[in-house]
Structure 1
Amino acid sequence: MTPKHDLKNPDHIAFGTAVANAQAAVAGLSDQYIGWVNADLKRLDAAISAAQGGTDADKLRAVYDVAHDIKGQGSTFGYLLVTDIGQLLCRYVDEAIRRKKVDVDIIAAHVAALRTVVDNRIQGQAGELGAEILDTLRSAAAKSFA
């Protein structure tokens, strides 16, 4: 029986090499991520513009879909706060669809927070500042439905 962590085990070496190659590929794409997320933010602006002034579920779902894309990519490239803000925006839009009530200022606040994180290349959770941003967005979203 081969020990679990036998560094001489060809399967272990192959797996380690595959992981290292994947990490290198993601690192190589990190520079391109900023361009991708900025393109997604433009798509988000367009979806928000199309949804302005109403609670049409299909139009709001388009906002959700772009926010979901943004959320999904953030963590992959080390932008954990982008993922968290995107998740909050998705939750807000889901609730807005359910309640048939939307506050465009709340959506705008999420987008502004996303842009701040991306423009300033803030990776990780951003410590207390990141927690404060998330708390403020959560609180504003809750108040908008009160």
Structure 2
Amino acid sequence: MTDKDHSDETERISFGAAVANAQAAVAGLSDQYIGWVNADLERLDIAVAAVTDGVEAQTLRTVYDVAHDIKGQGSTFGYQLVTDIGQLLCRYVDEAIRRKKVDREIIDAHVAALRTVVDNRIQGQAGEIGAEILDTLRSAAAKSFA
């Protein structure tokens, strides 16, 4: 084995150990994730409470920001459906700002879906049920702008 081969092997072992350590750290934090996401959902409730039929971009931007935070953490901790619902909520809010039209019930449906996933600790994409939730939210959002 050449010095370069030995160096490459050492780097692979070091990288593998670093990945294993990172995965263990994330696994250790996943128990704390439920507390974090529930705190974010409380922040989302406060932001959504300010949403009225009179579209105010800044109010909706606050909803977007909290939904974006929720979206960003979900898949990291095994809650892909949280990420997907959060992403749909961000898209809906972006479109509501653009069109200057919002349907609070659509936002509420996204929040209820997020709470259901978190409260029931539904990890991954939840198969057909998860797909049905996402399809229903997409359809409702599209109809609200029709």
TM range (shorter): over 0.9
2:117 aligned with 1:117: yes
Segments of 5+ residues of structure 2 without an aligned counterpart are none
Q: For 1:1-146, what aligned pairs fall within 5 Å after superposition?
A: 1-2=4-5, 9-146=9-146
Q: Kindly provide the CA deviation profile for residues 30-86 of structure 1, in whole angstroms up to 9, marking residues without a partner as x.
A: 000000000000000111112234210011000000000000000000000000000
Over the aligned positions, Cα root-mean-square deviation in angstroms equals 1.4
TM-score (norm 1): 0.94
Q: Kindly provide the CA deviation profile for residues 67-117 of structure 1, in whole angstroms up to 9, marking residues without a partner as x.
A: 000000000000000000000000000000000000000000000000000
TM-score (norm 2): 0.94
Q: Which runs of 4+ in 1 moved over 3 A?
A: none
Q: In percent, how many aligned pairs have the same letter?
A: 82
SS class of match (2:5): coil
